[in-house]
Homo-oligomer: A and B are copies of this chain.
Amino acid sequence: MAKIKIGVIGAGSIAWYATLIRDLSLMKGLWGSTVTLMDINRERLDLIYGFAKRYISEVRSDLKIEKTLDLREAVKDADFIINTAMAGGHQYYEKMRAISEKHGYYRGINSVEWNMVSDYHTIWGYYQFKLMMDVARTIEELSPNAWLILLANPVFEGTTLLSRETKVKVIGLCHGHLGYQEMAKVLGLDLDYVNVESIGFNHVIWMTKFLYKEEDAYPLLDKWINEEAEKYWRRWRRKQKNPFDVQMSPAAIDMYKRYGLFPIGDTVRGGTWKYHWNLKTKKKWFGPTGGPDSEIGWKIYLENHEKWLNRAIEALHDDKTPLTELLPPKMSQESVVPIINSIANDEEGLYQVNVLNNGVINGIPDNVAVEIPAKVDGKGVHRIQVSSLPKSILKYVLYPRMMRMEWALEAFLEGGRDLLFDWLIVDPRTKSTKQVENVINDLLSLPENEEMAKHFK
Contacts and interface: CB of A to CB of B under 8 A. Distances in A.
Given A400-B426, A410-B391, A426-B400, A277 B113 contact: no
A277 B434 CA distance: 11
Interface residues of A, number: 29
B433 A277 contact: yes
Nearest to A259: B418
Contact of A277 (B406, B414, B428, B432): B432
Contacts of A277: 432-433
Copies in the complex: 2
A406 B395 CA distance: 7
A272 interface: yes
A394 to B, nearest CB: 9
A274 B432 CA distance: 8
A215 interface: no
A406 B410 contact: no
Contacts of A395: 403, 406-407, 410
A186 B418 CA distance: 28
A230 interface: no
A396 interface: yes
Contacts of A407: 395-396
A425 interface: yes
A348 B395 CA distance: 39
A399 interface: yes
Nearest to A403: B399
A427 interface: yes
Contact of A426 (B258, B425, B428): B428
Would you list the 5 A-B pairs with minimal beta carbon distance, nearest first?
A272-B425, A395-B406, A396-B422, A258-B418, A274-B425
11 contacts: A272-B422, A272-B426, A274-B425, A274-B433, A281-B433, A391-B410, A392-B410, A392-B414, A395-B407, A400-B403, A426-B428
Given A274-B421, A428-B428, 4 more contacts: A258-B422, A272-B425, A274-B425, A400-B403
